[in-house]
Amino acid sequence: MKALNIRVFLFLLFLILPLQYSQSEDTIYEISNELMCPVCQGQTVAESNSQLAISMKEVIKIKRAEGKSKEEILEYFVDQYGDTILAKPPLKGFGLILWITPPLILVISILFWILRIRRNRKDAG
């Protein structure tokens, strides 16, 4: 009976370990996908194969093993490189302008074209 319990325990252990490793790799990818590679133009750390990006992934892996949260890891890289390291600019300062400007331009251009079409119909009619 004791041997059966040990076999069941080992079987369950072998089933759980790959799932835990997969979740860890997914978290590392998720975090590295939110960081821009400092040496690559327009690539995230997750996409880049540069030596610096590989080192950054290792730092993420180490910090996750230490129990750091995603936010703590991102904050660590912001402290090292500044806000430009983030793939999504923060909603403060200049980053706020970057988030507001595109929808604002879209709304203004739609209003412009609506007014222009109405004026053309009025002139033609």
| Residue 44 and residue 66 in one domain | yes
Query: Are 78 and 94 members of one domain?
Result: no
> Is 68 found in the same domain as 117?
no
| CB 32 within 8 Å of CB 44 | yes
Residues 95 and 84 in one domain: no
What is the predicted pLDDT for the residue at 6?
73
0.85 exceeded by the pTM? Answer: no
Q: In this predicted model, which residue has the larger pLDDT, 24 or 2?
A: 2
Dihedral angle sign, alpha carbons of residues 89, 91, 93, 94: positive
**How far are the Cα atoms of 13, 14, 17, 19 from residue 8, in angstroms, in the given order?**
8, 10, 14, 17
- CA dist., res. 83 & res. 29, Å (int): 19
**20, 63: one domain:** yes
Q: Are residues 78 and 97 in the same domain?
A: no
- Domain harbouring 55, CATH code: 1.10.8.640
- Do 25 and 64 have their domain in common? yes
Cα-flanking dihedrals φ and ψ of residue 86, to 5°? -80, 135
Mean pLDDT of 96-101: 84
pLDDT for position 14: 65
Statement to judge: residues 37 and 9 lie in one domain:
yes
pLDDT single digits (tens) 10-68: 666 566 555 444 445 678 899 999 999 999 888 999 999 999 999 999 999 999 989 89
* Residue 123 structural domain: 90-125
Question: What pLDDT does residue 42 have?
Answer: 87
Note whether 95 and 36 are same-domain residues.
no
CB neighbours (10 Å) of residue 87?
Answer: 14
Co-location of 50 and 94 in the same domain: no
Same domain, 80 and 111: no
Number of compact structural domains in the chain: 2
Same domain assignment for residues 82 and 95: no
